[in-house]
Chains A and B, each alone.
Chain A
């Protein structure tokens, strides 16, 4: 499809495990954003990429969280030593460019549950 895709749609893991969440942006979009959304809240910024580099990772809550985008397209959000408080919906969005018009298009999200 032409939209942003995210896999898996749901992930259940145990406390202390490692997880990877994948985002496939719209083709040609150079900017890619990761957000985390808890129930009843708006999306909370984690990190964004402009091309292959992480332009701003100020939203990552701690060093257990890491994201990569090695070829400037697909991105993976990695969470080490998961904690119950990491349970949330992780959303990915892409846009043509981070600056300028920058309309964002979102994927369906990955619901992460840490038991």
Chain B
């Protein structure tokens, strides 16, 4: 059974810092890995999707990498802003087409 772990569980940083959020998974036989953002009381917003054949994806200040062999993905946020404050979730989709989510990293960026 796939298990997904996200570290750290919570992070509080001053504005302008570069951040790395980690996601690890136990079964490397995956189709894709997707990073989401969730604001309090809201649904999930897709940030980046990495296919199993890809190593990284970039969108604006966000960069996500994937290392299947070691079962890890990182989400890099450059020049963080208060508006980046949210919970960040990663989801790994395996051969059963069922995504498994981590518990998320709660990020606070203070001015």
Q: What's the minimum C-beta distance from A20 to chain B, rounded to whole angstroms?
A: 19
The A/B interface has a contact count, at CB < 8 Å, of 62
Contact of B32 among A35, A41, A102 (CB under 8 A): A102
Assess whether B102 is in contact with A42, with CB atoms less than 8 Å apart.
yes
Give the residues in chain B near A91, CB-CB below 8 Å: 43-44
Which of A42, A101, A107 has its CB near the most chain B CB atoms (within 10 A)? A42
Q: What's the minimum C-beta distance from B26 to chain A, rounded to whole angstroms?
A: 15
Assess whether A104 is in contact with B97, with CB atoms less than 8 Å apart.
no
Say yes or no for B91: interface residue by CB 8 A criterion.
yes
Complex-state Cα separation, A93 to B41, whole angstroms:
16
Assess whether B103 is in contact with A40, with CB atoms less than 8 Å apart.
yes
Q: Which of B11-19, B45-53, B64-72, B75-83 contacts A (4 or more CB under 8 A)?
A: B45-53
Q: What's the minimum C-beta distance from B45 to chain A, rounded to whole angstroms?
A: 7
**Range for the number of chain A residues in contact with chain B:** 20 to 34
Q: What's the minimum C-beta distance from B9 to chain A, rounded to whole angstroms?
A: 9
Assess whether A42 is in contact with B49, with CB atoms less than 8 Å apart.
no
Chain B interfacial residues counted at CB < 8 A? 24
Assess whether A107 is in contact with B99, with CB atoms less than 8 Å apart.
no
Assess whether A99 is in contact with B31, with CB atoms less than 8 Å apart.
yes
Contact of A42 among B43, B46, B97, B104 (CB under 8 A): B104
Say yes or no for B34: interface residue by CB 8 A criterion.
yes
Contact of B99 among A33, A99, A100 (CB under 8 A): A33
Say yes or no for A109: interface residue by CB 8 A criterion.
yes
Say yes or no for A51: interface residue by CB 8 A criterion.
no
Give the residues in chain B near A33, CB-CB below 8 Å: 99
Say yes or no for A12: interface residue by CB 8 A criterion.
no
Q: Which of B19-76 contact A (CB under 8 A)?
A: 31-32, 34, 36, 42-46, 49, 51
A residues contacting B by CB (< 8 A) are 4, 31, 33, 35, 40-45, 48, 55-56, 58-59, 91, 93, 98-109
Known contacts A40-B103, A102-B93; 8 additional CB pairs below 8 A are A43-B44, A45-B98, A48-B97, A56-B97, A91-B44, A99-B31, A102-B97, A104-B46
